[in-house]
């Protein structure tokens, strides 16, 4: 059975630490890795549009000396003819050494893994999980703070459909002494199952609020998210909630001097462009980290040691 990454908890804490260490080594010594995946092929199967995730996977594989193939929307694959995920994956696993897939339906990568002969990486499944964004977030927190424990992190925006939030809360729940502040409109609160499984069961403290400004002074990390239009069945609900939180330089005046602002991107208007000039804005560094951690992950799942 190939090793897959479907959910962030498929990786142990030790394995995540090891991936972070590999990513740090790749950043320090890129030439050492430039031919590590020579003659290997990564298939990027994106049944849903993406800029960052797909390009960072492809960039990661190319930087490792491998090559890529795939599609960037369901309409350009046999899915448009009614092919099942299982048959698509069965086919592609005959051509590629490893597959990264994004799909609008929750659990599609889990289904794919049942049919694949090569490793499957979940590159996002609906509003469910996005484990490689989580690895990116963990590497970013590690690089910004120098640790993955002992801090207060605020998650702000759409915590209901924000799959990156679900995965990151799950991942951080395995590290010590982290306080969670959940900031969202009442309609977009973190799902009960995430709170129960990741936090309550482990006795981890968290607080919930609708007011960003009242809690911003206590945060070490602020994880902003976009209200995702594509997850709403009802456009009226989206229009009512989309501008719930907009981070501006004024709101940051009361934040800590060493706050780190993360965002999985793309953003719409929840962080004003003026914030980009603030050194606490870590989201562009976060994008860069995404490539390096995916390089480390590809190496791990292909069993390649450098």
Q: Which is nearer to another protein, 237 or 253 (CB)?
A: 237
Q: Which of 81, 192, 202, 277 is catalytic?
A: 81
Using CA atoms, how far apart are residues 213 and 11, in angstroms rounded to an integer? Answer: 35
225 belongs to the catalytic site: no
The pair phi, psi for residue 151, each rounded to 5°, is -155, 170
Report strand pairing: 151-156 vs 41-46.
unpaired
Neighbours of 292 (CB within 10 A): 26
Identify the active-site residue in 40, 130, 160, 294.
130
- Taking the complex as a whole, the smallest distance from the CB of residue 81 to another protein amounts, in Å, to 14
Q: What is the largest CA-CA distance in the chain?
A: 55
Minimum distance, C-beta of residue 120 to another protein, in the bound complex (Å): 13
| Contact residues: another protein, CB under 8 A | 84-86, 103-108, 110-111, 125-128, 193, 197
Structure tokens at 206: 């968290």
Residue 95, number of CB atoms within 10 A of its CB: 12
Q: How far is the CB of 111 from another protein (least distance, A)?
A: 5
Distance, CA of 137 to CA of 64 (rounded, Å): 21
Q: How far apart are CA 270 and CA 263, in angstroms?
A: 10
Q: Which is nearer to another protein, 127 or 290 (CB)?
A: 127
Where does residue 259 rank: exposed (0-12), middle (13-18), buried (19+ CB within 10 A)? Answer: buried
Active site residue 102: yes
By beta-carbon proximity to another protein, the closer residue of 189 and 280 is 189
Of 22, 40, 54, 102, which one is the catalytic site residue? Answer: 102
Q: Which is nearer to another protein, 111 or 252 (CB)?
A: 111
CB of 106 to another protein, least distance (A): 4
Residue number with CB closer to another protein (233 or 273): 233
Closest CA to 102 of 82, 77, 73: 73
Do 154 and 223 form a contact (C-beta atoms < 8 A)?
Answer: yes
Catalytic residue among 22, 44, 53, 68: 53
Q: Is 3 noted as a catalytic residue in this protein?
A: no
Nearest distance from residue 58's CB to another protein, in Å?
24
* Residues that are catalytic: 52-53, 81, 102, 130
């Amino acid at each position: 059975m190939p090793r897959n990454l479907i959910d962030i908890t498929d990786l142990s804490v030790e394995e995540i630490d090891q991936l972070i260490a590999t990513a740090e080594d790749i950043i320090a010594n890129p030439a050492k890795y430039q031919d590590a995946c020579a003659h290997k092929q990564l298939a990027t199967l994106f049944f849903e549009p993406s800029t960052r995730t797909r390009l960072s996977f492809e960039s990661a594989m190319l930087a490792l000396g491998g090559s890529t193939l795939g599609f960037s929307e369901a309409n350009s694959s046999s899915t448009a003819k009614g092919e099942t995920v299982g048959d698509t994956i069965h086919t592609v696993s005959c051509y590629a050494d490893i597959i990264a897939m994004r799909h609008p339906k929750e659990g599609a990568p889990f289904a794919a893994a049942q049919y694949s002969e090569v490793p499957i990486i979940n590159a996002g499944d609906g509003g469910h999980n996005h484990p490689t964004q989580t690895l990116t977030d963990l590497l970013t927190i590690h690089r910004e703070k120098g640790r993955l424990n002992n801090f207060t992190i605020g998650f702000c925006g759409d915590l209901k459909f924000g799959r990156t939030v679900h995965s990151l809360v799950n991942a951080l729940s395995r590290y010590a002494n982290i306080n969670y502040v959940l900031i969202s409109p009442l309609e977009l609160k973190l799902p009960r199952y995430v709170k129960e499984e990741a936090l309550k069961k482990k006795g981890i403290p968290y607080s919930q609020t609708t007011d960003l400004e009242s809690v911003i002074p206590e945060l070490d990390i602020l994880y902003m998210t976009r209200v995702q239009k594509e997850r709403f069945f009802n456009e009226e609900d989206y229009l009512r909630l989309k501008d719930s939180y907009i981070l501006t330089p004024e709101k940051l005046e009361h934040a800590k001097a060493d706050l780190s602002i993360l965002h999985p991107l793309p953003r719409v208007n929840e962080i004003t462009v003026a914030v980009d000039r603030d050194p606490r804005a870590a989201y562009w560094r976060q994008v860069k980290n995404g490539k390096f951690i995916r390089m480390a992950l590809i190496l791990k799942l292909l069993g390649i040691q450098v």
